[in-house]
Amino acid sequence: MKVVFDATGYVLVVTGGASGIGRALSLAMAKVGARVVVLDADASGLEEIGAEHRNVETATVDVSQRAAVFDVLSAIEARHGKIDGLVCGAAIQPRTLIHEMDPEEWLRVQRVNLDGVVWCYQAVVPGMIKRRRGNIIAFTSGLATQGWPQASAYASTKAAITAFGKSAAKEISRYRVRFNVVSPGVIDTPQYRAANESEDNEKWKATLGVGSPEDVVGPLMFLLSDAGTMTGSVLSRDIAYPREEWD
């Protein structure tokens, strides 16, 4: 069964959208008519994706900074009159042993990965409630339940996002605003490559498989669409199914 998406008139904000899954989603949504605003701390990455499609706008922001997040998202809503969807993809994943981790590194991971989602949520939800329409997606990870050596900070934020998303969804469902969490599986992104050197990479390839960012785009677009009526859900893509074997 073929699915065709039409996002004409849809305003989508994607944090961490200059690379990886966020980048793939942003370009896919732009191609089906959405106005996509990509937020990232990577200025060069933003310049590249901004040149890819006329429907893509960009802005530099550190999502750990609440005031900056509110300023940027308020400006987007004022410019476009609404924000229909928010996808929170900004995250960092330093690899450090717990007992050797500097306190500032621990706090930085929490501020970007978890606080960044909370600040973005706080900034967009009032408008969505007022319009009685909106859609938010955040990312968890398989590491949230199974853990991984040197990934305690990252894994803990991803576990927290699941709890946050389920709680938030229960608060806003009465206003027809949805919040879902996606666990995309092992995906070949710049962050993945930086956090998983040759030995770990080979382990993932031999077990769950390593997918591409484009593999996650379809499920995300479904959740953003009117057909994706669930909320408070965790959509998990645990195994990478090779694209070359689909046909």
Report the catalytic residues: 154
228: helix, strand or coil:
coil
For CA atoms 179, 246, 215, 149, the dihedral sign is positive
Task: Outline where DSSP puts E strands in 95-223.
Answer: 134-139, 177-183
CA-wise closest residue to 61 among 19, 116, 103, 106: 116
Count of H-run helices and E-run strands, the chain: 10, 7
Q: How far apart are CA 247 and CA 240, in angstroms?
A: 15
- Give 216's contacts (C-beta < 8 A, 6+ positions apart): 21, 24, 25, 182, 184, 185, 187, 237
Query: Structure tokens of 231?
Result: 């909320």
| Dihedral pair phi/psi, residue 219, rounded to 5° | -60, -40
**Which residues are paired to 211 by β-bridges?**
187
CA-wise closest residue to 84 among 39, 135, 147, 33: 135
The neighbour count for residue 234, using CB atoms within 10 Å, is 14
DSSP state of 136: E
